[in-house]
Amino acid sequence: MREIVFDTETTGLDPSTGDRLVEIGCIELINRIPTGATFHAYFHPERTMPAQAEAVHGLSDRFLSDKPRFAERAAELLEFLGDSKLVAHNARFDFGFLNAELERCRHPIVDMGRMIDTIAIARTLHPGAKHSLDALCSRYGIDRSHRVKHGALLDAELLAQLYIELTGGRQIGLTLVAESQIEVVATDCLVTVNVERTARPARIFTLSEEERRRHASFLEKIDNPIWLEPAV
């Protein structure tokens, strides 16, 4: 099973008001194990970068001035994505920007049915807790000490580790639970993580005759044992 974990950086919060995608980072998983295959690109946004957005990701107008437009790498990105499920944190935000850019350059948009939202999974598993990427990395012991500012590829790498933990943990890679036994069901309103575990057979412990004799000898040394008192 192939899945792509991805993250984006943008000029703001709403593509419908002119905000643009400026960075995307994608990590390939096969059976929820990173393969090492990635796609990463910066894009010229064809507008100025607001100071608030630059403070989050550090991508300045000067840095982005010589980067390609999204349309120039759209086909390459779509080829990498293929028809795989797409995993993102607060996925509607990332899907919204990705599809807005695809529409702008007349490419087919990505079907929302391919979306897996790790925030929705986290809310199901940990209701009432904090669900930011930082908070969840801390909960699952994922090292984020090198995360000074937001960056699409770095955040996708952290999210890939988090997604593995949210859907069964590192035991998946150790084959302690078969891939076919782990299912993520995602809809607009519901995310269910089903991990089917095979029951272990009961273990039978048999005492040797020597052990029985030692046990009986020990019991004889107990004064007024409670198990010999008459029932009330």
Residue 57 CB partners (closer than 8 Å, separation 6+): 9, 22, 23, 149, 150, 151
Beta bridge partners of 195: 182
Q: Is 57 annotated as a binding residue?
A: yes
User: Six-digit token pair at 226?
Assistant: 């409670």
Binding site annotation covers 14? no
| pLDDT of residue 180 exceeding 60 | no
Average pLDDT over residues 177-199: 49
Q: pLDDT > 90: what percent of the chain?
A: 68
For the ranges 23-27, 134-138, 208-212, which has the lowest average pLDDT? 208-212
Length, in residues, of the chain: 232
CA distance 79 to 77: 5
pLDDT class of 58 with cuts at 50, 70, 90: very high
Q: State residue 93's pLDDT score.
A: 97
Residue ranges per structural domain of the chain: 2-195
Choose among 43, 35, 38: nearest CA to 11.
43
Please answer whether residues 13 and 19 qualify as being in contact, where contact means their C-beta atoms are separated by less than 8 angstroms.
yes
Query: Which two tokens mark 141?
Result: 């012991």
Q: Is pLDDT of 199 > 60? A: no
For residue 155, what are its two tokens?
A: 């955040």
Task: Summarize pLDDT for 81-92 with one digit per residue, the tens.
Answer: 999 999 999 999
**Does the pLDDT at position 220 exceed 50?**
yes
Q: State the pLDDT at residue 170.
A: 60
Query: Is 61 known as a binding-site position?
Result: no
pLDDT over 70 for what percent of the chain? 83
User: Across residues 114-120, what is the average pLDDT?
Assistant: 97
Q: What is the pLDDT of residues 119-176, one digit of tens each?
A: 999 999 999 999 999 999 999 999 988 776 788 999 999 999 999 999 987 654 444 4
Long-range pairs, 195-202, Cβ under 8 A, ≥24: 195/167, 195/168
- In which order are the strands placed within the sheet that holds 21-30? 33-42, 21-30, 2-10, 85-88, 115-117
More confident residue, 20 or 145: 20
* Rounded distance between C-alpha atoms, residue 102 and residue 78, angstroms: 9
Helix (H, G, I), strand (E, B) or coil at 59: coil
Q: Name the residues annotated as catalytic.
A: 150
User: Is residue 155 marked as binding?
Assistant: yes
Q: What is the pLDDT of residue 214?
A: 87
- pLDDT tops 60 at residue 113: yes
* Calpha distance 125→77 (Å, rounded): 32
Using the predicted structure, report yes or no on whether residue 183 has a pLDDT greater than 80: no
CATH architecture of 2-195: 2-Layer Sandwich (3.30)
Q: Where would I find the H helices in 70-200?
A: 70-81, 91-104, 118-125, 133-139, 152-166
* pLDDT higher than 70, residue 184: no
CB 22 within 8 A of CB 45: yes
Residue with tokens 């910066």: 42
Burial class (CB in 10 A: 0-12, 13-18, 19+), 232: exposed
pLDDT of residue 200: 60
Average pLDDT over the chain reads 86
